[in-house]
């Protein structure tokens, strides 16, 4: 009898015992640095602070040293979307920062949404949402997994850098209004800014940064990893009279809130706002995992203007290192050491300024896309006697006027062949091809895969250009850009740190698409709906 009673009690205890709780961190912080080449981790490594962000992540976290972007074009909207969806433009639909929509027959901005209004200012810069994104993000999946109890917010100076990572179901996304110097959002998320955001904006931190000006963090002569401070091929981002350090920014205080984005203080503003979110929205304050998606946009603006070998770029990264170190210390105090998970990556890299490359006998050049487009249309008119047969060049793709061609007696393949023949004979263009026939081209397997992964027919031009190495589109008068398949644009950093991460590194080839499914595995949630990546097994404890 006693044995029977004991057996029954044991069954009751087993049945009534609570299920094993899924182990998750209190907070996930995704950090995307807009325009960070992988080699910046080591180019400036000796100058990074021991208590800064990059060395801490490298030495105490896990580094995927050979992480590549698996598609082209390698631009901001596509990069942020890929990181958080585990998907590629061919699936998630974000084929560029802008694209030619063949159904709407017009150019479309990646996060434009005329059905919403700005919240937080009187400008039209808030008419944005994730409306054009076709898949879920890892942030959406976390919200779904916790029955929308997890809090998710995305932030960036750029609207697309905050909106696309946070996904469709985020509590909020915030971005910077260059007309007012404030953080704003749209009616997609809320009707009015929270009081704490209003209070933050009222501080007018940008004016404070302007009055401090931008000088180098260390003596100018110690920036030995950079070219001379003043180079003719650098864009004069703060006025033609300001040719180098120190930059006097006080003239912009209270009048022009755009120049701050091309300084390291754009990163400072972003960091301070990230801290304010964690403090005021109680991120990481309970057992339900929250997600903060942070994108640092300023390195992209600095890089475009001054190039990867500039003093401005080096100083931006030395300052960002300190920002990240301070932010990690803040997370240690606020959330608790090893209670949060951080990953750091980039949306793309960048090419050297062509004029800089030429100084060192490296072949390079610029392709004026507007001039090229005009010549294509002029040639098509001369050949086929109809004006306007091409309507756009975007993301290195030529868009043809499909309605006009369909309503005429012209054959589209004849038009395509003429454009391809013309482009193939232009300086700086390695190849031009019909995306409908890419399988039959003589491109390498990697190039084909990247171009196919970046192609969503309804949002892409029909003819693809491939530039010669070191050639860039536009920026003819100075500066540089990104967007191509080459490693300088496609090789990005990927660092993991904190909860559940085993310190170390791997040189195995890993892809940007692997980030989201790896987070899904760490959190024990479903991967995003368009994910094609794989879990990075090496990072797990």
3-state secondary structure of 531: coil
What are 364's two structure tokens? Answer: 């390079």
- Amino acid 509: pLDDT: 98
By the 8 A CB rule, do 125 and 264 touch? no
- Amino acid 201: pLDDT: 98
Q: What is the mean pLDDT of the chain?
A: 95
By the 8 A CB rule, do 41 and 484 touch? no
**Active-site annotation holder among 21, 67, 74, 76:** 76
- Amino acid 18: pLDDT: 40
The answer on pLDDT for 6 being more than 80 is: no
Q: Are strands 397-400 and 118-119 parallel, antiparallel or unpaired?
A: unpaired
Mean pLDDT to the nearest integer, 113-121: 98
The answer on pLDDT for 380 being more than 50 is: yes
What span, in angstroms and rounded, lies between the C-alpha atoms of 371 and 387? 16
The answer on pLDDT for 4 being more than 70 is: no
Which residues contact residue 321 at a Cβ distance below 8 angstroms, ignoring those fewer than 6 apart?
44, 48, 49, 52, 53, 54, 55
Which residues contact residue 107 at a Cβ distance below 8 angstroms, ignoring those fewer than 6 apart?
98, 99, 100, 101, 392, 394
* Residue of 362, 394, 391, 377 whose CA lies nearest to 488: 362
The answer on pLDDT for 10 being more than 80 is: no
Categorize the per-residue pLDDT at 362 as very low, low, confident or very high, splitting at 50, 70 and 90.
Answer: very high
Helix residue ranges per DSSP H, 349-438: 354-359, 369-384, 402-407, 412-424
The answer on pLDDT for 130 being more than 90 is: yes
What span, in angstroms and rounded, lies between the C-alpha atoms of 342 and 496? 6
Categorize the per-residue pLDDT at 5 as very low, low, confident or very high, splitting at 50, 70 and 90.
Answer: very low
User: Is 76 assigned a catalytic role?
Assistant: yes
Could you tell me where the beta strands, DSSP code E, fall in 88-171? 98-101, 106-109, 118-119, 152-155
The answer on pLDDT for 11 being more than 60 is: no
pTM: 0.95
- Amino acid 21: pLDDT: 81
What span, in angstroms and rounded, lies between the C-alpha atoms of 306 and 304? 6
Mean pLDDT to the nearest integer, 79-107: 97
3-state secondary structure of 250: helix
* Residue of 228, 317, 235, 261 whose CA lies nearest to 37: 317
* 365-469 CATH: 3.30.1360.150
Mean pLDDT to the nearest integer, 294-305: 98
Could you tell me where the beta strands, DSSP code E, fall in 43-151? 62-68, 98-101, 106-109, 118-119
What are the domain boundaries of the chain? 27-357+487-539, 365-469
**Domain 27-357+487-539, CATH 3.40.720.10 — does that match?**
yes
Which residues contact residue 88 at a Cβ distance below 8 angstroms, ignoring those fewer than 6 apart?
70, 71, 82, 453, 454, 513, 532
DSSP state of 467: E
By the 8 A CB rule, do 419 and 463 touch? yes
- Amino acid 402: pLDDT: 95
Q: What is the CA radius of gyration of the chain?
A: 25
- Amino acid 541: pLDDT: 67
Neighbours of 194 (CB within 10 A): 14
By the 8 A CB rule, do 90 and 112 touch? no
By the 8 A CB rule, do 250 and 208 touch? no
What span, in angstroms and rounded, lies between the C-alpha atoms of 229 and 309? 10
Task: Say if 27-357+487-539 and 365-469 have the same CATH topology.
Answer: no
The answer on pLDDT for 7 being more than 70 is: no
The answer on pLDDT for 348 being more than 60 is: yes
Q: How far is CA 436 from the centre of its chain?
A: 28
- Amino acid 89: pLDDT: 98
The answer on pLDDT for 431 being more than 60 is: yes
The rounded percent of the chain whose pLDDT value lies above 70 is 96
Task: Give just the sign of the alpha carbon dihedral 22, 23, 26, 27.
Answer: negative
Mean pLDDT to the nearest integer, 8-14: 41
The answer on pLDDT for 522 being more than 70 is: yes
């Amino acid at each position: 009898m006693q044995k029977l009673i004991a057996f029954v009690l044991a069954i009751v205890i087993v049945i009534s015992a609570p299920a094993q709780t899924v182990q998750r961190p209190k907070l996930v912080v995704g950090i995307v640095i807009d325009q960070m080449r992988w080699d910046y981790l080591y180019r400036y490594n000796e100058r990074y602070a021991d208590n800064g962000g990059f060395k801490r992540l490298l030495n105490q976290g896990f580094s995927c040293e050979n992480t590549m972007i698996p598609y082209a074009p390698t631009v901001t909207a596509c990069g942020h979307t890929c990181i958080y969806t585990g998907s590629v433009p061919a699936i998630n639909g974000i084929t560029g920062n802008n694209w030619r929509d063949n159904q709407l027959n017009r150019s479309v901005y990646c996060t434009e949404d005329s059905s919403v209004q700005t919240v937080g200012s009187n400008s039209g810069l808030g008419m944005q949402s994730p409306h054009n994104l076709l898949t879920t993000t890892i942030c959406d999946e976390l919200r779904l997994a916790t029955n929308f109890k997890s809090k998710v917010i995305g932030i960036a100076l750029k609207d697309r850098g905050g909106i696309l990572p946070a996904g469709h179901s985020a509590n909020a996304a915030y971005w910077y209004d260059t007309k007012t110097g404030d953080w704003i959002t749209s009616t997609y998320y809320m009707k009015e800014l929270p009081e704490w955001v209003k209070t933050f904006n009222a501080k007018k931190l940008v004016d404070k940064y302007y009055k401090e000006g931008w000088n180098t963090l260390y003596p100018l002569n110690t920036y030995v990893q950079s070219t001379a401070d003043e180079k003719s091929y650098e864009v004069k981002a703060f006025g033609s009279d300001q040719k180098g350090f120190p930059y006097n920014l006080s003239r912009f205080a209270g009048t022009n809130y755009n120049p701050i984005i091309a300084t390291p203080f754009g990163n400072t503003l972003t960091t301070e706002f990230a801290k304010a979110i964690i403090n005021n929205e109680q991120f990481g304050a309970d057992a339900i995992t929250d997600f903060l998606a942070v994108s640092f946009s300023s390195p992209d603006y600095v890089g475009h203007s001054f190039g990867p070998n500039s003093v401005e770029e080096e100083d931006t990264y030395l300052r960002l290192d300190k920002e990240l170190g301070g932010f990690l210390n803040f997370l240690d105090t606020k959330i608790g050491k090893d209670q949060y998970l951080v990953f750091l990556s980039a949306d793309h890299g960048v090419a050297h300024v062509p004029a800089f490359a030429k100084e060192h006998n490296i072949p390079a050049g610029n392709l004026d896309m507007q001039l090229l487009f005009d010549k294509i249309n002029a040639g098509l008119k001369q050949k086929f006697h109809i004006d306007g047969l091409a309507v756009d060049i975007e993301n290195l793709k030529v868009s043809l006027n499909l309605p006009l061609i369909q309503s005429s007696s012209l054959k589209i393949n004849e038009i395509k062949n003429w454009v391809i023949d013309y482009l193939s004979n232009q300086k700086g263009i390695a190849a031009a091809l019909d995306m409908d026939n890419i399988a039959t081209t003589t491109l390498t397997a990697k190039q084909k895969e990247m171009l196919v992964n970046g192609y969503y027919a309804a949002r892409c031009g029909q003819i693809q250009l491939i530039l010669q190495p070191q050639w860039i589109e536009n920026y003819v008068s100075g500066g540089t850009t990104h967007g191509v398949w080459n490693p300088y644009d496609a090789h990005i950093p990927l660092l993991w740190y904190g909860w559940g991460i085993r310190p170390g590194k791997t040189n195995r080839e890993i892809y940007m698409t692997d980030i989201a499914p790896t987070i899904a595995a760490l959190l024990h949630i479903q991967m995003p709906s368009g994910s094609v990546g794989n879990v990075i097994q090496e990072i797990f404890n």
